[in-house]
Amino acid sequence: EVQLVQSGGGLVQPGESLRLSCAASGFIFKTFEMNWVRQAPGKGLEWVSYISSRGDDIFYADSVKGRFTISRDNAKNSLYLQMNSLRAEDTAVYYCARGTSMAHWGQGNLVTVSS
């Protein structure tokens, strides 16, 4: 069974940093592209970042470019999102998702940026 189990998240102040993790199991992680998607409270889905299977192609939404860093460790079957210089508008539930047609999603982690 494909599983994506997320960890991290929580309450931080503006300007602080946070790291999200996504542990994959039930499939050959190193062969799949991965994405981070977020959803602000009461809002729609927003794509955040993409990483290719080997980690050599990376893309970001303009809203997070220069502040967020996506990475992966294929030996540990894990995906990460390092979020720096967090802003109030980054408050959202963050999901990891497999592939560009996102057939599998993590359970989501709430990130709240507030003073």
Partner 1 sequence: DIQTTQSPSSLSASVGDRVTITCQTSQNINIYLNWYQQKPGKAPKLLINAASSLQSGVPSRFSGSGSGTDFTLTITSLQPEDFATYYCQQSYTTPLTFGGGTKVEIK
Binding-site size, partner 1 (CB under 8 A): 18
Interface stretch with partner 1, choices 9-17, 23-31, 77-85, 100-108 (CB under 8 A): 100-108
**Rounded to whole angstroms, how far apart are CA atoms 87 and 100?**
27
**Residue 1, interface with partner 1 (CB under 8 A)?**
no
Q: How far is the CB of 94 from partner 1 (least distance, A)?
A: 11
3-state secondary structure of 45: strand
The reply on whether position 45 binds partner 1 by CB under 8 A is yes
Q: Is 44 in the site for partner 1 (CB under 8 A)?
A: yes
1, 9, 2, 26: which is closest to 95 by C-alpha? 9
User: Using the rule CB under 8 A, is 56 a contact of partner 1?
Assistant: no
**Residue 115 binds to partner 1 (criterion: CB under 8 A):** no
Contact pick of 1, 62, 66, 115 for partner 1 (by CB under 8 A): 62
By CB under 8 A, is residue 35 in contact with partner 1?
yes
User: Encoding tokens for residue 31?
Assistant: 């062969």
Residues 6 or more apart whose Cβ sits within 8 Å of residue 72: 29, 34, 51, 55, 78, 79, 80
Classify residue 16 by its DSSP letter: -
Report the candidate in 41, 52, 27 with the shortest Cα–Cα distance to residue 103: 27
Contacts with partner 1 by CB under 8 A lie at: 35, 44-47, 50, 59, 61-62, 95, 100-103, 105-108
